[in-house]
Amino acid sequence: MYLMLSILCSFFDRFTGPIGYMQKDTGSSYCNPCLTGEYQNALGGHGCKECPIGYSNDGTKATICNDCPMGLFQNEVKQPSCKPCPAGMYSKESGATSDTVCVPCSKGTYSTTLGADNKNVCFPCAPGKWSDEEGAVQGSDCKACLKNHFSADEGRSETCEKCPPESTTDTIGQTICRKCDAGEHMNTETDGTKSCLKWLVFFLNCFRTYSI
């Protein structure tokens, strides 16, 4: 019985060719497997079918193509793999046929991840920084608050707040403003920047200014 089944199966394959294979010539005793980016879901196929856009296949002898998962897309036929959404973007749509499905991370955030499938990969700019750019790809795209400005919030998408009167920051990228310590004076430059100076330094600066 086993021998009879083997003979019947060999005869069947010779004249039709199994799925996942192609038979170039009718009656040929040899079938060629479908290659990557191809498939065959019918018996006796004389050629393999191309994976359509939005799909891919990275193996041989395939009977189906796989749709591109979320975060990926494919705008060409007969491809072994799908293309990832670039860094700074993500996509929640499967079977995508264009990179237009890739959504940029919102202002105040950034992402270094390729092929992201949700917005959770978009990290907020740290406190003391901000960004008004959509689709930022690295933390350095977040700009530091200028001197005399601050931001206590993460993910800020607008310029930082100015320090209240009688307070300032010593450097850029600060999260709080500080008031001058005892023995210091708030000095305001002509360009509006402020700094805390020791009283002695303040008087010396005034003396130099008015003695010129």
Q: Which CATH number characterizes residue 20's domain?
A: 2.10.50
Same domain? For 170 and 187 the reply is no
Prediction pTM value: 0.74
Number of domains within the chain: 3
The per-residue pLDDT for 61 is: 87
Are 113 and 165 members of one domain? yes
Q: Are residues 93 and 165 in the same domain?
A: yes
Q: What is the pLDDT of residue 17?
A: 58
Give the pLDDT of the chain (212 residues) as one tens digit per residue.
Answer: 433 433 333 444 444 556 656 656 555 556 788 899 999 888 866 788 999 999 999 999 889 999 999 999 999 999 999 999 999 999 999 999 999 999 999 999 999 999 999 999 999 999 999 999 999 999 999 999 999 999 999 999 999 999 998 899 989 999 999 998 887 777 777 777 777 777 554 455 555 554 55
Q: Which domain holds residue 55?
A: 1-66
Task: Name the residue among 22, 24, 73 with its Cα closest to residue 52.
Answer: 73
* Whether residue 112 is found in the same domain as residue 194: no
Asked whether residue 172 falls in the same domain as residue 126, the answer is yes
Q: Are residues 184 and 173 in the same domain?
A: no
| Predicted pLDDT at 148 | 92
Looking at the fold, whether 49 and 152 belong to one and the same domain comes out as: no
Q: What is the pLDDT of residue 25?
A: 58
What pLDDT was estimated at residue 7? 38
> Are 37 and 94 in the same domain?
no
Give the pLDDT score at 93: 96
Whether residues 163 and 73 fall in one domain: yes
